[in-house]
Amino acid sequence: MGKRDAFDITTYTYKTVKNHKFLTDVLIPKDIPTGPRPILIRLHGGFLITGSRQQEEFFGLWVSQLASTNGAIFIQPDYRLLPEATGVEILSDLDDFWTWFNADLPGILEKVAPGVTADYSRVVVAGESAGGYLSLQFALDHKDKISAAIAIYPMTDIRAPHYTQDYVKGMAGAPVYPESLIDECLAKKTDDSVVTEAQRVELMFSIVQHGRMLDLIGPQETRIFLEDRVKNGEKFPPLFVIHGETDTSVPFEDAAALLKLAQEKDAGLELCFTHPEGEHGFDANFTVDNPILADGVKFVKDKWLA
């Protein structure tokens, strides 16, 4: 069974840049009750370099089940990707998605699901890997509008050696890919290049393996660095973070350090941090009732559905 099979899916354009349409899927559970329904927004992973809203292997079955079993509207947008875009541009895409989400979703629901309305007081954002990084950014941007955020083995410190230094990293057993893949991609880039969906896992690994992430992310404004935002006093809504301690693709230690900092800066932070042994993507086939997820799922539901 596919991770999106329990839903009726429609697709919309939430912005256009250089004639390129930025798409988002709206997934409505096939048996959704009428009335105000909670909302789950999922931001996809792929190190900000690869992937799309539709790529199922990058996220856990449990995330879609969290939406379907609770009669929640499930929304999955695309966003620009590196290296054609910058980090600042990616975050601006999420700003524009948020505007669309608030302005256009009610009218869409009237057409595709009569009797169903969006309950903007019950919104959760979730994401895995790079999507985890973006879910944390999204949560900081909209703290008072988000019931909870779910960050699944999130990228956190993009200035860490893992992303900025060239050495053998053994990422999930992947071979070391040539740095020439990066140069070939950059050679094809033009001022009109806009990429929001891509399947380029080899390029993704090469950029991280050779420590080129920060070089390609563009203007290094405070906003793109989670730790800087937290140090400056910005606060998270309730957080459920799940990260395998033996993750070789996204360092567990970075996530732990960010959460420690967040707790030091905000004594009132509501946090559920689950960290079993596990490689990147260990939860891909977890169902929502998996015991490893039990504390986190309950934590989120208590904040989201109350």
Mean pLDDT, all residues of the chain: 97
Superfamily of segment(s) 7-304: Alpha/Beta hydrolase fold, catalytic domain (3.40.50.1820)
The predicted structure's pLDDT at residue 31: 94
Which pLDDT band holds residue 193 (cuts at 50, 70, 90)? very high
% of the chain surpassing 70 pLDDT:
100
Helix/strand/coil percent split, the chain, to 5: 40, 20, 40
The token pair at 157 is 């410190």
Tokens of 228: 């800087």
Residue 1: per-residue pLDDT: 66
Q: Cα dihedral sign for 107, 111, 117, 119?
A: negative
**In sequence order, what are the beta bridge partners of 16?**
21
- In the chain, the percentage of residues whose pLDDT exceeds 90 is 97
| pLDDT for 159 beyond 70 | yes
The predicted model gives 187-216 an average pLDDT of: 96
What's the whole-number mean pLDDT along residues 253-278? 98
How buried is residue 180: exposed, middle or buried, by Cβ count under 10 Å (0-12/13-18/19+)? exposed
Q: Where are the domains of the chain?
A: 7-304
pLDDT-derived band of residue 286, with 50, 70 and 90 as boundaries?
very high
Average pLDDT, integer, range 181-187: 97
pLDDT, tens digit, 9 for 90 and up, residues 19-32: 999 999 999 999 99
CA distance 96 to 103: 11
Q: Could you tell me the two tokens for 164?
A: 């900025």
Give 90-106 pLDDT, tens digit per residue.
Answer: 999 999 999 999 999 99
Enter the pTM of the model.
0.97
Mean pLDDT of 266-295: 97
Of 22, 25, 3, the residue nearest 14 (C-alpha): 22
Confidence of residue 306 (pLDDT cuts 50, 70, 90): confident
Question: What pLDDT, on the 0 to 100 scale, is given for residue 182?
Answer: 98
Q: How confident is the model at residue 2, as a pLDDT?
A: 86
Cβ atoms within 10 A of the Cβ of 2, count? 9
What is residue 56's predicted lDDT score, i.e. its pLDDT? 85
Report the pLDDT value the prediction gives residue 226, as an integer from 0 to 100: 98
Structure confidence by residue, pLDDT tens digits, 229-245: 999 999 999 999 999 99
List strand residue ranges (DSSP E) for 2-85, in order.
7-17, 20-29, 35-43, 73-77
